[in-house]
Amino acid sequence: MAASGEEDLERVRSEAIDIVVISSRLLDMTGLQLAQALRPYVNKGAPLLLVTSEGNDAPVQEACRVGITDVFQRTRLSVLLPYLRDLLRRRYCND
């Protein structure tokens, strides 16, 4: 957990990160800006997941461009936990 995008960037530079869940709105930057800055630092193949309240496809297209793996709507967060469980199960079963 990080309170801001800058704090998240500092942590990622010093820790191995396997998965990142990013809010689309942060105190100091957008989630897309953070994703673009994080991508070089997270482990190769580590998913970057964006949580957004926007309901149109424009954020999804931009998210893919900056390296976001999947986008989740805030109104449908119930799908995020099963997604994470499946992702982690597959990752650790394969390792």
- Give domain limits for the chain: 5-94
pLDDT band at 28 (very low <50, low <70, confident <90, very high): very high
Q: What is the DSSP letter of 44?
A: T
Whether the predicted pLDDT of 57 surpasses 70: no
Is the separation of the CB atoms in 23 and 31 below 8 Å? Answer: yes
- Could you count the other beta carbons within 10 Å of the beta carbon of residue 53? 11
Fold of 5-94: Rossmann fold (3.40.50)
Q: What percent of the chain has pLDDT over 90?
A: 22
Whether the predicted pLDDT of 61 surpasses 90: no
Question: In whole angstroms, what is the distance from residue 51 CA to residue 45 CA?
Answer: 19
The pTM score is: 0.81
